[in-house]
Structure 1
Amino acid sequence: MSAIKYEKNADNIVILTLDSSGQSANTMNAEFRDALNDVSQKLKAETDLKGIIFRSAKKTFFAGGDLDELIQVQPEHATEFFKMIEKLKADLRTIETLGVPVVAALNGTALGGGWELALGCHYRIAINDPKSKFGLPEVTLGLLPGGGGIVRMVRLLGLQNAFPFLMEGKQFGVDQAKSLGLVHDTAENQQELLDKAIVWVKANPKSQQPFDVKGYKIPGGDPKTPAVAQVLAIAPAMLRDKTKGCYPAPEAIMAAAVEGAQVDVDTALRIESRYFTQLAIGQIAKNMIGTFWHGLNAIKSGASRPADVARWQATKVGVLGAGMMGAGIAYSTAIKGIPVILKDVSVENAEKGKAYSQKLLDKRVSQGRMTAEKRNQVLALITATADAADLQGCDLIIEAVFENQELKAKVTQEAEQYLAEGGIFASNTSTLPITGLATASKDAKNFIGLHFFSPVDKMQLVEIIKGKQTSAETLAKAYDFVQQIAKTPIVVNDSRGFFTSRVFGTFIQEGMRLLAEGVHPAKIEMAALKAGMPVGPLAIQDEVSLTLTEHVASETRKALQAEAKDLAKTPVDEVVHTMIHELNRKGKAAGAGFYEYPEHGKKHLWQGLDRWQKDHDISEQEMIDRFLFVQALDTLRCYEEGVLESVIDANVGSIFGIGFAPWTGGAIQFLNQNGIERSLQRSEELAQKYGERFNPPPYLKEKAQQKQIIQ
């Protein structure tokens, strides 16, 4: 069975139908590579060849590289891997330079290697489907387009225009592809697609790539052109400022693009292969493929969902509390076509919450991403009310009121009576144990935690928290709802702070500990960014607000005292108390925290923080290790204690919920990729210097002794 079906019609046009065996999508696996080599040799031997058309037997055109293969490539395979890539590209180049017209008939999405295959054709026709996506997203997995994508995009678009598609992995639809000149024509169905391809082949008996025509110049100029040279002089510094040196892929893409633009096509393709090999054998690509591809796909297919419960869809959702969280949940639900009852203590408050959706939808309309009619339809799905009776018939009610157990109990009891039969009740708490909140419910098995992240419209993750009595059916329904609104669910067991809030707190606290130790605040923030965290701990603490941190610490103390336990005061408590009660700096919402927030200007660190400054000699790497290890070790404790049940949920949740450095592949993968024995040794060193929070969990010691990774 070949991955490419070879068929010559009466007009001597060869139609190559892509059809990888045993797969729902075509990929550049070994079967495809062998088939492409056979096809290229057969085409070379044709005596009266009039043209070539690539088409697909699958629902999409081509999915891209085989990531299961790529993740296995080790440094010792570098030469073999490089030769394999070069052979694949040589076969594509053979077909591209036969002198006959080559057409890509795009029946659907073509990403990564699929788009590279399309770029290797002289003419591209796409079915006019708004769902089709094209582009080169390899950079999001720590890789670069290694099948000629860099070389051909640069030659077709020019360096500056190609950069966003290469270095950011921006995808585009049929309309944008046409406006860029990357798709030349469209068709309405499969038959018209093939007919148009045949017509074009017949009309263009001699054909070649525009960049293979003698005298062709790259749009906008090559790197020696003054305007391009001026941009390239500062581009590496701007890129380094963005990546903080954590991501080698964008830097390799820029280098391959610029170097390749100064030489002939075949040399440029070889340069691209070398950079691709370098990334493919590296650890960062493996980290990112493991989590952003395999991990997310496992979650999409329901890895942590009870398998024996039928699929479910919410038909009417109630949201209690129309503040930032409630308003965001209402918007995210309504935009997926689900009616929402948004309830607050007054209609005015509820309407304010609905106005948040209006603002987001108006922005979409102004950007041309939505019609005014569609906006009005979405808004009509949100009912703002102060009357609990309007919740009648909701099959899911989500409570999103302030973090106070008594208040949450009150609104639960008021609303729960209106649930439809078989409906479930969820609390959007970030720290309060679900089992405790469920005591206010008439049926704890139908009660669950749905922890959304702010701002809800932008944040992809939802942490689903099982209480001690939460049923498998309730968990399955919650999981299905999260996917219904196109968000990513992870599942955790109940405990104070659950997983994300608990571990997130360790990062912020480590930043404040460094401040209390006397480290300059700018050094703290920069070390966090260089670790790969999206924002520094002091900036995040301002966003969260110091008063909320104090409130959560106070509630935790009360709860622990009730269990006859104690929570010792730390240097962090002193910093928080001083900031709030002595300096009246409570965070961003209050207009003053660790940062100053001038009305017309950029926020900047407050000079008054020098009260903590001492002559403290600590290296940047030491701070980076403290930030990453304090979170990774606590994530492992969550796994060891059963708060987390899967490494996939730990890695995905740490990146999408906490912002843990994506280059690592997640908090547990950070320990794996570091080498378990090295991670153990480093955590013991940090514990000796800085305290028990860095003590390695017994599970880490066990894995180090067994010389096994955590999986």
Structure 2
Amino acid sequence: MTQDVTTDNGAADSGAFTLTRQDNGVAILTMDVPNESMNTLKAEFGDEISAMLDEIEADPGIKGVVLASGKPSSFVAGADISMLAACETEADARALATGGQEVFDRIERMRPTFVAAIHGAALGGGLELALACHYRVCTDDQSTQLGLPEVQLGLLPGSGGTQRLPRLIGIQQAMKMMLTGSPARAKQAKKYGIVDDMVPQSVLMEVAETYALKGKPAREKPQRSLMNKALELTGPGKKMLFKKAREQTLSKTKGNYPAPGYIIDVIETGMNEGMQAGLRAEADAFGKLVMTPESYQLRQIFFATTQMKKENGVEGVAPQSVNKVGVLGGGLMGGGIAYVTATKAGKPVRIKDVRPEGIANAMKYSYDLLNKKVKKRFMRKTEMQKQMSLLTGSLDYNGFQDADIVVEAVFEDVDLKQRMVADIESHCHEGTIFASNTSSIPITQIAAKANRPEQVIGLHYFSPVDKMPLAEVIAHAETSDSTISTTVEFAKKQGKTPVVVKDGAGFYVNRILAPYMNEAANLILAGEPVDHIDKSLVKFGFPVGPVKLLDEVGIDVGTKIIPFLVDEFGERFTAPPAFDKVLADGRKGKKNKKGFYLYESKNPGKEVDDTIYALLGLTPSVSRSERDIAERCVLMMLNEAARCLDEGVIRSARDGDIGAIFGIGFPPFLGGPFRYMDTLGVSHVVERLRHYEQEVGEKFAPADVLIKMAENDQSFY
């Protein structure tokens, strides 16, 4: 197939778009946004793309158009979110959606056949653009993914996605993709029918051109089972389908997120009343959602994490290169750290454990996760083997001599960790960084006997490591700037969002979590039922309640940090005596199937173990509202977060918000502890703390910084 470009009328260039005519009747329309690493759709492109479409329409020699990206690793990553900040009213936001719909409608109605040639990410507006084309061809590359993630920003697809995707692949699959925001990999996209073909990258353009000369497709209805036909193609079936979707969504969101409800409504409108009615409903809903406080906060999280990805650990200090990694300890954390290092960072990992079973377990951790991907066809077996080959193990320090960073994930014992530091200093090269995954021991103590304390740092992951996005990077007084920057860069390569925090008991995340958990325990001792406390906090917006979280983490692990906190910060961190009784009864939580919840029942972890009340000498009864319980626990967390910022434990309110959301699931729609305090008003926070100080005790005394801020009418942002 010829790729010759006609040089006389040549390539028409219009900023982000270039039109290259070929002598085979196919024109290549390339999108390449200047000075950006990825393509994003911007409002100002409207006139530009319209002019291009005019030119295509006017040229009878163009029979087909291949829409491609000029970026080497992605198609179109979505719409530029920052343009939503300029919307002052619902009408402004609705106009943005309507503008996008009109351009994509025009592409769908064009005389030449349009084909989207997709390599890499086609997300949000990028997928909506592809859906407006007559055909879609994608590469079989690992990086290729297609999705509509708008719900994660508190929005819905606003340029026709809510209408085109269900018509293409069926209501249920489309709704699932929109409600979760999860993208489909290339193989899934082909299976669902989002793309017409999946090919190696080397022939993407050639195959796309073949489709461009085919003429427009007569789309068959999506492949449906008999059950799905009954649900999606009959009036009563559709009614039941949407009703069930609303019930399931409400049980997950607890009504805290408006976007999922609008997504269901808009799809239903389009499916019952037709495409045009659906598009009007979509634009209206988009306008409303852009102006909601939930979407505002979710967009701030997006901007914060994007900004953090671009930052070094220490400004102006470049990271050292990390070519090989050591991991000490083959337990759950060690296995998880080895996994993200090999699979995300792509670095060889040497795992050391004192027992062969420890190394075998760490290897199995990675094997099981990768094998699951192979079985689901997300990954080729050869790719799995390549990643597994990066993992090796040893019972001694053989193979550690060239490790640039060694992450320690052994038991929480100061002497043991100090011994590990000495071992690494004697077995590795002079520049090797020692990073401790401790959750409770101050890094200053771990580095106390080090010969090179400037190369000792904390790197605290959260469990399970393969899923939790946060890593705390903890510098003690002698940690060098180079060690900080290198560790931050290493954590980013592992797919983590790193937050740099100052050394001290509990660091940041566990320090703000402890008073919250303690307050939940105090409420149990006051007679509140365990499930009432957990449901109150889940309704508030946490993914799990505090008591359930303690069972999940391990009651023994969760309480280990308390003595360190009491030593450093005093009585306000004293845990209620309940914990001692619970531990003395052999209750460690989920891991030994004995905790606050039942794990040997039909629904493991769903029902409270009522014997806990007899153990604690209690007769449970609900005496406080869900709102009061949530307020009491959350205020303890907010107060401690304010102290952490004031003491320089975290560098900024932004870091504190991201740390709480990614580390402990603080409700994202509230924006994090500091944005939430701004929303409530700092004076209101102080007033409520003083209320509980009088009612409950002095542990609720507001932090000095909050009192000063309230007096001066200040906010965190």
By the TM > 0.5 criterion, same fold? yes
Find the counterpart in structure 1 of residue 336 from structure 2: 328
Q: Secondary structure at the match of 2:506?
A: coil
Find the counterpart in structure 1 of residue 265 from structure 2: 255
Q: Which of 626, 630, 635 lines up with 2:641 in the alignment? A: 635
Query: Is 1:276 aligned with 2:286?
Result: yes
Gaps of 5+ in 1: 212-217
Q: Distance in 2 between matches of 1:678 and 1:652?
A: 23
Spell out, residue by residue over 1:497-525, the C-alpha distance to the aligned partner (whole angstroms, 9 max, x if none): 00011112222222112212221222111
Find the counterpart in structure 2 of residue 318 from structure 1: 326
Find the counterpart in structure 1 of residue 524 from structure 2: 515
Q: Which of 478, 482, 490 lines up with 2:491 in the alignment? A: 482
Look up the equivalent residue of 2:30 and give its one-letter code.
T
TM (normalized to structure 2)? 0.88
- Structure 2 matches for 1:283-302, cutoff 5 A? 283-291=293-301, 293-302=302-311
Find the counterpart in structure 1 of residue 87 from structure 2: 73
Contact 2:683 2:713 in 1 (8 A): yes
Query: Is 1:537 aligned with 2:546?
Result: yes
Query: Is 1:471 aligned with 2:474?
Result: no
Find the counterpart in structure 2 of residue 173 from structure 1: 185
Q: Distance in 2 between matches of 1:591 and 1:546?
A: 11
Look up the equivalent residue of 2:523 and give its one-letter code.
L
Q: Distance in 2 between matches of 1:496 and 1:8?
A: 65
For residue 275 of structure 1, report the CA deviation from its aligned partner.
1.1
Query: Is 1:402 aligned with 2:411?
Result: yes
Look up the equivalent residue of 1:132 and give its one-letter code.
T
Percent sequence identity over aligned pairs: 33
Look up the equivalent residue of 1:386 and give its one-letter code.
L
Find the counterpart in structure 2 of residue 669 from structure 1: 675
Q: Distance in 1 between matches of 2:580 and 2:666?
A: 27
Q: Distance in 1 between matches of 2:232 and 2:335?
A: 50
Contact 1:40 1:92 in 2 (8 A): no
Look up the equivalent residue of 1:637 and give its one-letter code.
R
Q: Which of 578, 582, 587 lines up with 2:581 in the alignment? A: 578
For residue 526 of structure 1, report the CA deviation from its aligned partner.
0.5
- Structure 2 matches for 1:68-467, cutoff 5 A? 68-74=82-88, 77-186=89-198, 193-194=204-205, 196-204=207-215, 222=232, 224-291=234-301, 293-303=302-312, 305-335=313-343, 336-467=345-476
Instruction: Out of 631-640 and 366-375, give the one that drifted further.
Output: 366-375
Find the counterpart in structure 1 of residue 3 from structure 2: none
Contact 1:287 1:673 in 2 (8 A): no
Spell out, residue by residue over 1:212-255, the C-alpha distance to the aligned partner (whole angstroms, 9 max, x if none): xxxxxx97765744443333332211111111222211121111
For residue 491 of structure 1, report the CA deviation from its aligned partner.
0.7
Q: Distance in 1 between matches of 2:383 and 2:477?
A: 42
Q: Distance in 2 between matches of 1:506 and 1:162?
A: 42
For residue 153 of structure 1, report the CA deviation from its aligned partner.
0.6
Aligned residues: 692
Look up the equivalent residue of 1:341 and give its one-letter code.
R
Q: Secondary structure at the match of 1:102?
A: strand
For residue 297 of structure 1, report the CA deviation from its aligned partner.
1.4
Look up the equivalent residue of 2:43 and give its one-letter code.
A
Contact 1:397 1:419 in 2 (8 A): no
Spell out, residue by residue over 1:145-174, the C-alpha distance to the aligned partner (whole angstroms, 9 max, x if none): 111101101111121121121111121233
Find the counterpart in structure 2 of residue 567 from structure 1: 571
Contact 2:329 2:408 in 1 (8 A): yes
Q: Distance in 1 between matches of 2:448 and 2:381?
A: 45
Q: Secondary structure at the match of 2:578?
A: helix
Query: Is 1:56 aligned with 2:92?
Result: no
For residue 468 of structure 1, report the CA deviation from its aligned partner.
0.7
Instruction: Out of 146-155 and 177-186, give the one that drifted further.
Output: 177-186
Instruction: Out of 434-443 and 20-29, give the one that drifted further.
Output: 20-29
Change (3 A) 1:673 1:2: farther
For residue 689 of structure 1, report the CA deviation from its aligned partner.
3.8
Contact 1:2 1:31 in 2 (8 A): no
Q: Which of 574, 592, 595 lines up with 1:593 in the alignment? A: 595
Change (3 A) 1:673 1:301: same
Q: Distance in 2 between matches of 1:248 and 1:460?
A: 24
Change (3 A) 1:385 1:258: same
Contact 1:43 1:95 in 2 (8 A): no
For residue 387 of structure 1, report the CA deviation from its aligned partner.
2.2
Spell out, residue by residue over 1:121-148, the C-alpha distance to the aligned partner (whole angstroms, 9 max, x if none): 1122334533222111111121111111
Contact 2:341 2:347 in 1 (8 A): yes
Find the counterpart in structure 2 of residue 215 from structure 1: none
Query: Is 1:498 aligned with 2:490?
Result: no
Q: Distance in 1 between matches of 2:38 and 2:90?
A: 27
For residue 495 of structure 1, report the CA deviation from its aligned partner.
0.9
Change (3 A) 1:573 1:487: same
Change (3 A) 1:108 1:377: closer
For residue 40 of structure 1, report the CA deviation from its aligned partner.
5.4
Spell out, residue by residue over 1:626-671, the C-alpha distance to the aligned partner (whole angstroms, 9 max, x if none): 3333223322221111000123321221111112112222222222
TM (normalized to structure 1)? 0.89
Q: Distance in 1 between matches of 2:154 and 2:665?
A: 17
Q: Secondary structure at the match of 1:394?
A: coil
Q: Which of 619, 623, 626 lines up with 2:625 in the alignment? A: 619
Find the counterpart in structure 2 of residue 33 from structure 1: 46
Q: Distance in 2 between matches of 1:435 and 1:224?
A: 67
Look up the equivalent residue of 1:585 and give its one-letter code.
R
Contact 2:537 2:630 in 1 (8 A): yes
For residue 417 of structure 1, report the CA deviation from its aligned partner.
0.9
Contact 2:231 2:241 in 1 (8 A): no
- Structure 2 matches for 1:542-561, cutoff 5 A? 542-557=551-566, 559-560=567-568
Spell out, residue by residue over 1:243-293, the C-alpha distance to the aligned partner (whole angstroms, 9 max, x if none): 1222211121111111221112111101011111111111111111111x2
CA RMSD across the alignment:
3.0
Q: Distance in 2 between matches of 1:568 and 1:503?
A: 12
